[in-house]
Chains A and B, each alone.
Chain A
Amino acid sequence: MEAYFRELSDTLCADLAPGEVLLLNYRGEASDFVRLNHNRIRQAGHVHQQALDLDLVRDGRESGASMPLCGALDTDLAQARRLLERLRAQLPLLPEDPHLNYAMEVHDSIHHGEDRLPEPGAALETLLEAARGLDLVGIWAGGEQSRGFANSLGQFNWHSTHSFNLDWSIYRAGDKAVKQNYAGFTWDDDYLAHKIASDRETLDLLGQKTRTLEPGRYRVFLSPGALYELMEMVSWGGFGLKSHRSAQTPLLGMVRDGFTLHEDMTITENHAAGLAPRFTRAGFIKPDRVVLIEAGSYRNCLANRRSAREYGAVVNCADEQPESLEIAGGRLHQDEVLSSLGTGLYISNLWYCNFSDRNHCRITGMTRFACLWVEQGRPVAPVNVMRFDESIYHILGDCLEGLTREHEHILDAGSYEWRSAVSARLPGALVNDFTLTL
């Protein structure tokens, strides 16, 4: 589709009137989705979608439109031209936009990910066979994702990848289950079998008598997956320049009251290690890294094109929300997690987090899946789901005892409208006095 997008953009840019600038973004996806329940296929299908976004700029004004692509050049060009006419008619009715900002320097880039995906039907057969006799529920999502950018200044960028994301849980009884994910670019039957075998061991533990904890403060270990849920909340306005300047960041205490996190906390938006394209929808090229929090202190914000113009900053992201967050590892070795936890709660997953007091970055949410009670470094029982309510300033601040040296590379399984390209590299966290409330 790169050639098709190039032809579309060349033709549309050639049509422009003097003084007009056109920004074009292409989105494409050809994905298989197979939904599973009780280790059988609930829904199976394929989605092919392509869309073109057009942003027309003239006299300091901008207006945008989006359209599906049917793949027939004449039809798609005719539709795009109709939309451009509507945008042309609209622009004079708008006031000048003081925050208008798009890349003026030309930086071309091409990235074609290699297609090393397995035949999805065969991969599924492997999964269902490995999980024979188990109550497995989840989804296979896999295929090609493409993004493209072009503008009338002559810039052209292309980014395509072939990836899969197999996300599943295996239930023992009631709500007691182990959650797993296997995502990436190359498939390995043996690795999957190892994961399922590990699940079977955890399921044995889930068969132990369940404990119900009383509300109170507990020593806990947050797995990288659990920490990811918390960081998704912090990322919701936490690092954006606009949310900082308008006092809406949940990290307001760090920038207004001098609050700090633990000195081991260094948080980076690691664009270079992410799955998302390195170009933004306005043609800017993201830097390799943006240090957000360093040694517990707030450092830099993520600035999108409009905030950058409004506040005089440099564009360093597409949206002001991390797409490839990384937390630096600590000194705790993975093998020492349970012994270091001693007696407490191993939290494998958190769920449905939200702010209970945004000004203090206080977050509530639920434990979910295989959370285990640990005594003297040994998991002894599953725990019924509990609600927590705790500030990040405690969890990753004065109550943080250690971070694991190892990271987990988490590929977001989200697929609202399009498959997600968000990822994160996170350690696990050992935390004291973590508050459970209900």
Chain B
Amino acid sequence: MHADWQAVINDFKAVVPDVDFWSLRLVSEETETLCVRDAVVQPPSLVHDRGVHLTFVDRGGCAYAATSALTREGLRTACEQALRWLEPSRRQALVEARQLPWPQHSGSYTTPVAVPWDEWSLAEKVELLQDINRTLLAGDCIVDRQAFLGHRQSEVMLLGSNGATIEQTFHYVIPGYVAVANRGSQTQVRSGGGWRSARQGGLEQLADFGFPDSARQVAEEAIALVEAPECPVTRADLLLMPSQMMLQIHESIGHPLELDRILGDERNYAGTSFVTPDMFGSYRYGSRLLNVTFDPGVMQEMASYAFDDEGTPADRSHLIREGILLRPLGGATSQARAGMAGVANARASNWNRPAIDRMANLNLEPGNSSFDELVSGIEYGVLMDANRSWSIDDSRNKFQFGCELGRLIVDGELRGLVRNPNYRGISATFWRNLAAVGDARSLEIWGTPNCGKGEPNQMIHVGHASPACVFRDVEIFGGD
């Protein structure tokens, strides 16, 4: 796919009214997905999407319109719709139009791809998914199994009436598989191969997710979990693997640091934040081992890019250094509203939604402990792997998370599996109990394509890289 935008741009320029400033964001996407469930090939899906989002700033007002009608008439109608909302915006605007950023730079970005999606034929991909299905059937108590492989290519162009032009092309690979085991009324699910995550890049990224080699282990662990004892009810050390650290970072660091939440925009839906503007620069968010970066430059991570959707160039920044909170996740508009520095994270989920503050790549930087040292430093605790349940209050403070797999740790050694592992805590104190951070060898790149937020709602992909980490004195429990 290559988006030929010139005709659309010409038509838009022919109908755009005389306003102080306009921007035009053009998005074209193609998504292909394959799934084999219980050895049955599901109907493949191919989704094309294409539309534009235009924003007008004029005489103190700001309004947008988005349309898939990419004809001159369709674009003219979209312009009229945006003009219709300019007047109410002028009278009732929350944000002064002069505070709104105009893209000042031009540039481009393309995801590096070593093995393109089309390099493997449809038959090869289907056969691979069938192989995984066969492997996942590791016992008679496997009652459901799925293997999934998807690809998305997204081309985004941002034009400003001041001449700024930004072109970015992204390639994502979306793999994974899951095995479900059951005996009686006990069902356990284990996933692997990147399930519920994704990466930028081509098919070469699959190996880093263990795809397809971990399929046997996934099925065997699902079966073992059915017979495993419940996770104990205890207050103990907690060793979180990167696949769960991803969620812990996402919910209890990422969301509370979003500047639009702090400014109150999300209070009716996604919520507010226990973080207030006066905390930046001095608040101890976590122990000295906690270092968190906004890093749009990790190529394989889902939200790598050169510019955000407001046209701000994206650079790596520390949000938390040695436990001290430094900087929020706020794009240029939020920065202007709050009067504080942020990062380039104003992003829209698609052409049909406006940009708001999102997480992008939010990473916990590695420490100095090997994985063996993390385990040996625990007298009694539980290792938890792979998120399966997430819940946190609207201020992003009181959380409770559950994982697919738990494993006891006694006297510095890994012991048997425990099922239904859960833990709960409070963000404001949990991170201060961060006792050990794994080194670069235990760092894994994860993320989620399903971060929800915003009104109207927007689902977007974010990246999280983290090593395994140890937390002290955590409330841990299992199922009934």
Contacts and interface: CB of A to CB of B under 8 A. Distances in A.
Interface of A: 31-38, 40-51, 55, 62-72, 75, 79, 83, 86-87, 90, 93-95, 97-100, 121, 124-125, 128, 137-139, 141, 167-169, 171, 175, 177, 179, 246-248, 252-253, 256-257, 351-360, 362, 364-366, 368, 385, 387, 389, 391, 414-417, 419, 437-438
Nearest to B189: A248
Interface string B73-102: 110011001101101110011110000000
A69 B69 CA distance: 7
Contacts of B395: 175, 385
A355 B458 CA distance: 23
Contact of A247 (B62, B88, B182, B267): B182
Interface stretch (B39-47, B159-167, B198-206): B39-47
Contacts of A62: 43
B424 A387 contact: yes
Given A37-B94, A45-B65, A256 B392 contact: no
B461 to A, nearest CB: 14
Give the top 5 A-B pairs by smallest Cβ distance, nearest first.
A357-B479, A45-B64, A46-B81, A247-B182, A246-B144
10 contacts: A42-B95, A67-B48, A90-B122, A94-B126, A137-B265, A175-B272, A246-B144, A352-B392, A366-B393, A415-B456
A70 B74 contact: yes
B185 A256 contact: yes
Nearest to B51: A68
A72 B71 contact: yes
Contacts of A247: 143-144, 180, 182, 187
Contacts of B87: 121
A27 to B, nearest CB: 10
Contact of A416 (B43, B65, B122, B457): B457
A358 B188 CA distance: 9
A44 B77 CA distance: 16
Contacts of B74: 48, 70-71
Given A47-B352, A70-B69, A356 B479 contact: yes
Nearest to B352: A47
A416 B458 contact: yes
B65 to A, nearest CB: 5
Contacts of A248: 143-144, 180, 187, 189
Q: Chain B: interface secondary structure? A: mixed
Contacts of B126: 93-94
Contacts of A38: 94, 264
Contact of A387 (B47, B63, B187, B398): B398
Given A50-B68, A99-B40, A356-B402, A415 B455 contact: yes
B104 interface: no
Contact of A83 (B46, B402, B426): B46
Contacts of B122: 90, 93
B240 interface: no
B196 to A, nearest CB: 14
Given A46-B78, A90-B44, A437-B424, A362 B480 contact: yes
Contact of A352 (B45, B46, B391): B391
Contacts of A99: 40
Interface string B46-73: 1111110000000000111111111101
Given A45-B63, A354-B390, A416-B452, A71 B69 contact: yes
B6 to A, nearest CB: 15
Given A48-B78, A437-B424, A69 B68 contact: yes
Contacts of A36: 94
A355 B67 contact: no
B296 interface: no
Contacts of B153: none
Nearest to A125: B88
Interface string B8-52: 000000000000000000000000000000001111111111110
**Most chain-B CB neighbours within 10 Å: which of A42, A50, A351, A362?**
A42
Interface string B380-398: 0000000001111111001
B335 interface: no
A177 B269 CA distance: 12
A121 B185 CA distance: 54
Nearest to A356: B422
A87 to B, nearest CB: 8
Contacts of B269: 139, 167
Nearest to B88: A121
A358 B187 contact: yes
Given A137-B267, A438-B398, A49 B457 contact: no
Nearest to A136: B268
A360 B50 contact: no
A85 B402 CA distance: 45
B8 to A, nearest CB: 10
Given A95-B41, A247-B180, A139 B51 contact: no
B427 interface: no
B267 A169 contact: yes
A93 B123 contact: yes
A55 B69 contact: no
B391 A366 contact: yes
A42 B356 CA distance: 11
Contacts of A128: 92
Contacts of B479: 356-357, 359-360, 362
Nearest to A252: B185
A122 B200 CA distance: 45
